[in-house]
């Protein structure tokens, strides 16, 4: 069967936060854009569910904030941790110079569905679900589109520009031959849900104990839980009775004694492998990577979605005019990398430092835990909590949508 053929200004591989936000912005600016998402819906679990103050600011600039905040969410004003027996507030978002001094915890599928619904208003925007990009089409050393497998046949898309927003295992970046620098990560995360009762604590919180780290995100009637393990240890754990794991969780979250019994076994626990890397070049003629496809983020600080959205905003600001006029050059693409690379480098450097100096040490510690100096300072001087709040909530270089794009 002949593939179905499309011709667009811009084809985006991947409908995650980076791809959907860029698709929405370009569609709104009148650029003919097609987003290809390999899954049939956005209803997948185990994505970060954090909508940061900077993303809320972007929603405000688009005139969508009020409607967006009508979707069910929890407002988190501060991030707390318990280190051994010592409680510490790590970040306080209330004082940020932003409209919303909180992180909105919302299932990511609600956020992506919202963007998809708003983007569908623009005739220049198109979204194909169950469309997996399998390879780039290259001509004379330039990327000129993609081939994709769809539920009802193959697609061939010709595009002035192809965007790789297809996440950490990006097909686009592999096929474009873009070189990757790996930074490594000492841990993986086991991800699962526990029922939450009215008697449970309300705080979203990280608990650090000798050899163990447990994150519990308050999602209303359930806890979204992350149990951090040394990299590669999952198979070992699976060989032990599941009861050992239940007991380890209860030790860190005694309030979960009853709900942890509702976990039926390892099938209720998902392994999320952690990886931190960055492309040396984010682009080639005809192709640009953004979000995790350009720089896979560690879960430390929960900032990957923030960076993905900011890449999308920066890319839209630079590209909407040249794409409309059919004159995108490699120079435009390099400008986006130049703008976004420094904030990415700094954020990843901080994540890697926390991974090495805190997480790796906690995971091998057998004696009593003492909070590191930085956390002791945060506990002692509350004003200092504004620094992590800024890095997590707004990012190193928050992006704003150009007025001209909003009005176009
Ligand atoms: C354990 C863990 C927890 C995390 N928690 C948080 C958190 O709480 N907050 C936070 O901000 N960040 C968190 N992160 C980081 C965050 O998940 C990423 O940085 C963020 O999702 C990147 O967004 P993206 O749009 O670039 O990529 P993704 O979210 O990975 O989206 C890529 C999309 O492309 C699609 N796709 C993939 N391949 C193809 C293909 N070939 N064709 C078509 N579509 C394709 C995928 O289905 C997906 O929808 C966490 C990461 C990990 C590992």
167 C-alpha to ligand 1 centroid (Å): 5
Strand, helix or coil for residue 241: coil
Structural tokens at position 131: 């469309």
| DSSP 8-class letter at 88 | E
Q: Ligand 1: distance of its center to the CA of 253 in Å?
A: 28
Helix, strand, or coil (residue 254): helix
Q: How far is residue 243's CA from residue 31's CA, in Å, rounded to a whole number? A: 55
Q: Indicate whether residue 133 lines ligand 1 (CB < 6 A).
A: yes
| Residue 244 CA, ligand 1 centroid: distance in Å | 30
Cα–Cα distance, 210 to 84 (Å, whole number):
7
In 3D, which of 160, 159, 135, 129 has the Cα closest to residue 147? 135
Pocket test for ligand 1, best of 165, 304, 351 (most atoms within 8 A of CB): 304
d(CA 405, ligand 1 centre) in Å = 26
- Alpha helices by DSSP H, 153-303: 171-175, 234-239, 242-252
Distance 384 CA to ligand 1 centre (A): 30
Q: Determine if ligand 1 sits within 6 Å of the CB of residue 171.
A: yes
Cα atoms in the 13 Å half-sphere on the side-chain side of 241: 3
Residue 372, both tokens: 């590191």
Question: Angle 330-354/304-324 helices, nearest 10 degrees?
Answer: 180
- Distance of alpha carbon 271 from alpha carbon 266, whole angstroms: 10
* Ligand 1 within 6 A of CB of 16: yes
CA distance 173 to 129: 20
Atom of ligand 1 minimally distant from the CA of 191: 1
Give the position, in ligand 1's atom list, of the atom nearest the Cα of 296: 19
Q: What is the CA radius of gyration of the chain?
A: 22
38 within ligand 1 shell (Cβ under 6 A):
yes
37 lines ligand 1 (CB under 6 A): yes
CA of 397 to the centre of ligand 1 (A): 20
* CB contact set of 174 (below 8 Å; sequence gap of 6+): none
- In whole angstroms, give the CA distance from residue 347 to residue 342: 9
Who's near 254: CB < 8 A, 6+ residues apart? none
Q: Is the CB of 272 under 6 A from ligand 1?
A: yes
Protein residue closest via CA to atom 8 of ligand 1: 48
383 Cα distance to chain centroid: 28
Residue 348 alpha carbon to ligand 1 centre in Å: 16
d(CA 44, CA 17): 13
Q: What per-residue confidence (pLDDT) applies to 308?
A: 97
Nearest to 404 by CA among 29, 14, 22, 10: 29
**Closest atom of ligand 1 to CA, residue 13:** 43
- Report angle CA 63, 44, 282 to the nearest 5 degrees: 70
pLDDT per position in the chain (408 positions), as tens? 788 999 999 999 999 999 999 999 999 999 999 999 999 999 875 577 899 999 999 999 999 999 999 999 989 999 988 888 888 899 999 999 999 999 999 989 999 999 999 999 999 999 999 999 999 999 999 999 999 999 889 999 999 999 999 999 999 999 999 999 999 999 999 999 999 988 887 766 788 988 889 998 888 888 989 999 999 999 999 999 999 999 999 988 888 899 999 999 999 999 999 999 999 999 999 999 999 999 999 999 999 999 999 999 999 999 999 999 999 999 999 999 999 999 999 999 999 999 999 999 999 988 888 888 988 899 899 999 999 999 999 999 999 999 999 888
For residue 165, the ligand 1 atom closest to its alpha carbon is 26
Ligand 1, atom nearest to 50 Cα? 9
| β-pair partners for 272 | 189
**Rounded to 10 degrees, what is the CA torsion of 242, 246, 247, 249?**
140
Is any ligand 1 atom within 6 A of the Cβ of residue 17?
yes
Of 25, 26, 76, 67, residue with least CA distance to 49: 76
H helices, E strands: number in the chain: 13, 20
189 lines ligand 1 (CB under 6 A): yes
Distance 293 CA to ligand 1 centre (A): 9
Write the residue with the smallest CA distance to atom 18 of ligand 1: 304
**Could you give the CA distance from residue 174 to residue 14 in angstroms, rounded to a whole number?**
14
Report the separation in Å between the CA atom of 168 and the middle of ligand 1, taken as the mean of its atom positions: 7
* Mode of pairing for the β-strands spanning 187-195 and 222-230: antiparallel
Per-residue buried b or exposed e for 221-232, using 16+ beta carbons within 10 Å of the residue's own CB: eebbbbbbbbee
Q: Name the pTM for this structure.
A: 0.95
Q: CB of 176 closer than 6 A to ligand 1?
A: no
């Amino acid at each position: 069967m002949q593939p179905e053929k499309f011709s667009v200004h811009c084809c985006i591989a991947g409908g995650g936060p980076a791809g959907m936000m860029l698709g929405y912005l370009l569609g709104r600016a009148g650029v003919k854009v097609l987003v290809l998402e390999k899954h049939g819906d956005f209803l997948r679990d185990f994505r970060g569910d954090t909508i940061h103050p900077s993303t809320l600011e972007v929603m405000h600039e688009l005139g969508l904030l009020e409607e967006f905040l009508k979707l069910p969410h929890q407002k988190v004003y501060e991030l707390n941790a318990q280190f051994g027996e010592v409680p510490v507030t790590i970040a306080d978002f209330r004082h940020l110079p932003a409209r919303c001094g909180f992180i909105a915890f919302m299932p990511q599928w609600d956020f992506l569905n919202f963007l998809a619904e708003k983007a569908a208003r623009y005739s220049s925007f198109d979204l194909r679900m169950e469309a997996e990009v399998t390879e780039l089409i290259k001509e004379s050393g330039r990327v000129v589109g993609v081939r994709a497998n769809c539920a009802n046949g193959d697609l061939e898309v010709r595009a002035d520009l192809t965007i790789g927003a297809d996440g950490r295992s990006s097909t686009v970046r592999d096929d474009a031959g873009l070189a990757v620098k790996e930074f490594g990560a000492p841990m993986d995360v086991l991800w699962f849900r526990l029922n939450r009762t009215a008697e449970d604590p309300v705080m979203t919180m990280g608990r650090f104990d000798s050899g163990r780290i447990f994150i519990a995100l308050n999602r209303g009637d359930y806890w979204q839980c992350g149990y951090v393990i040394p990299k590669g240890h999952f198979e070992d754990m699976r060989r032990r009775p599941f009861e050992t794991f239940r007991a380890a969780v209860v030790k860190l979250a005694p309030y979960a004694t009853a709900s942890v019994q509702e976990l039926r076994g390892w099938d209720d626990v998902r392994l999320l492998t952690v990886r931190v890397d960055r492309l040396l070049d984010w682009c080639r003629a005809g192709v640009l990577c953004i979000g995790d496809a350009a720089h896979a983020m560690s879960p430390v600080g929960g900032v990957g979605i923030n960076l993905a959205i900011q890449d999308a905003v920066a890319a839209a600001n630079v590209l909407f005019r040249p794409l409309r006029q059919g004159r995108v050059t490699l120079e435009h693409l390099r400008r986006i990398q130049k703008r976004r690379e420094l904030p990415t480098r700094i954020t990843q450097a901080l994540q890697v430092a926390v991974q090495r100096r805190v997480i790796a040490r906690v995971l091998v510690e057998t004696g009593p835990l003492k909070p590191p100096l930085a956390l002791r300072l945060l506990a002692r001087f509350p004003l200092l909590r504004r620094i992590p709040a800024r890095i997590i909530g707004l990012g190193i270089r928050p992006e704003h949508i150009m007025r001209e794009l909003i009005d176009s």
